[in-house]
């Protein structure tokens, strides 16, 4: 008698549920990611547009101003002493008013020298350098960067001690140097001009000093 074999049922493979009507289709990774639009390159930005303080304003070194005031005061005092020693005794020479006049002249000279120093400035802008001076009548000179070829710094022994010097800018169109006298920290002044200039112009800008 043959044995009876009972067939074994195979397990059913689970099927994915069909998406509901109106549901969004699942995201399918795309091979076209490389074709996505890339961000545009950032435009060239000058250091001045990155928060660099402009305009950069500086004045002549106050060391020379102090020396001029002391020198003028000394000359007026020496003239007063010389007049008293040479001229014969007189009430006008020995009076208190003569001393007041000399002291007033010293203060007036010191005030004129101070205001002359205070009103003269060197201003470094994005496109040019301005040189302003004058107490009653203002005079302004503008030097664009595209006319400049080189900058030279000259310092005397006294200038190296007190950190000031003369900055000369050569302009080929004029065939001569433009001089900025008694500039405090002249190397910093030159570095400021170099950083503010547009990048393409820096490569043809020759610095000395």
Considering just the CA atoms, what is the radius of gyration of the chain in Å?
Answer: 40
Give the three-class secondary structure for 141: strand
* Alpha-carbon distances, residue 107 vs 61, 81, 86 (angstroms): 21, 17, 25
Q: Which residues, in sequence order, are bridge partners of residue 165?
A: 183
Calculate mean pLDDT across residues 185-201: 77
Neighbours of 150 (CB within 10 A): 15
What digits encode the pLDDT tens for the residues 97-150? 788 888 999 999 999 999 999 999 999 998 889 999 998 888 999 988 888 888
Least confident of 33-47, 77-91, 164-178, 186-200: 33-47
Integer Cα distance of 28 and 36 in angstroms: 16
| pTM recorded for the entire structure | 0.65
Contact 129, 115 (CB under 8 A): no
* Alpha-carbon distances, residue 53 vs 73, 129, 188 (angstroms): 38, 14, 14
* Alpha-carbon distances, residue 127 vs 55, 83, 122, 137 (angstroms): 10, 55, 14, 25
């Amino acid at each position: 008698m043959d044995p009876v074999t009972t067939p074994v049922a195979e397990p059913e493979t689970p099927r994915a549920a069909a998406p509901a009507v109106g549901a969004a289709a699942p995201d399918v990774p795309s091979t076209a990611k490389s074709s996505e639009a890339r961000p545009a390159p950032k435009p060239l930005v000058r250091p001045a547009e990155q928060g660099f303080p402009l305009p950069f304003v500086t004045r002549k070194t106050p060391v020379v101003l102090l020396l001029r005031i002391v020198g003028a005061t000394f000359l007026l005092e020496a003239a007063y002493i010389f007049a008293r020693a040479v001229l014969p005794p007189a009430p006008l020479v020995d009076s208190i008013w003569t001393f007041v006049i000399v002291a007033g002249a010293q203060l007036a000279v010191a005030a004129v020298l101070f205001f002359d120093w205070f009103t003269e400035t060197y201003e470094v802008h994005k496109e040019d350098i301005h040189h302003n001076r004058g107490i009653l009548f203002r005079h302004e000179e503008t030097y664009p960067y595209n006319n400049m070829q080189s900058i030279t710094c000259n310092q005397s022994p006294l200038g190296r001690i007190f950190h000031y010097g003369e900055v000369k800018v050569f302009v080929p169109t004029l065939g001569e140097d433009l001089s900025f006298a008694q500039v405090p920290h002249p190397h910093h002044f030159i570095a400021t001009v170099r950083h503010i200039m547009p990048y393409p112009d820096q490569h043809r800008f020759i610095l000395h000093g």
